[in-house]
Amino acid sequence: MHSGGCNKKFKDFPRVKDFMREIPPVLPSFTVKEVAKHMEKYKTPVVAVVDKSNRTILGAINIMLLIKPFIPDFIEFIEDFSFVSNLGALEHKIFSGEMHRVFLAADIMEQHYPMIHENNSVVKALFSIYRHNITGLIVCERHHEYKGIISRFDLLRFLYDTDD
């Protein structure tokens, strides 16, 4: 009898589906610029890439995948940027605008991005995001069918009850 009460208590605990957002996914054929516009429009740090026919998750694009191509490799070796006001010719090359016309979502997506089931505990989502050091998780239902996104901001709503 005692364990039955515990099970009910755990079933009533907030689940991922209570805090996720139903952000529309993108298709593999979206250009990188279209993906960036999509992320900005929906204010999401991650988007799912799905198969057009049945919303099966093929991968995900985290906002850092869109930012990283603009970061030169040598940046890893510079600890202090306080003396730099601009990067001169490098800035012109970085922002020439060619990259977003050439690559598609399918080219840059991560095929093995962390996912969480919609019925899992929201605390599990918190631990997963923290452990993987990512900005959000893809939420799925059975058979990797896309449901939505749960991000760090969605978790703030859970942790600090910011809806009021």
Residue 8, in any domain of the structure? no
Residue 31, in any domain of the structure? yes
DSSP state for residue 69 in the 8-state scheme: G
Give residue 16's pLDDT.
96
The verdict on pTM exceeding 0.85 is no
Residue among 47, 46, 52 nearest 29 (CA): 52
DSSP state for residue 76 in the 8-state scheme: G
For 20-48, the pLDDT digits (tens) are 999 999 999 999 999 999 999 999 999 99
Q: How far is CA 51 from CA 25, 48, 63, 121, 149, in A?
A: 10, 10, 20, 27, 17
Query: Helices 152-160 and 122-132: crossing angle, nearest 10°?
Result: 130
Residues 142, 116: Cα–Cα separation, whole Å: 11
Give residue 37's pLDDT.
96
Give the mean model confidence (pLDDT) for residues 72-84.
Answer: 77
Range of the domain at 30: 14-160
How many structural domains compose the chain? 1
Report the CATH number at residue 62. Answer: 3.10.580.10
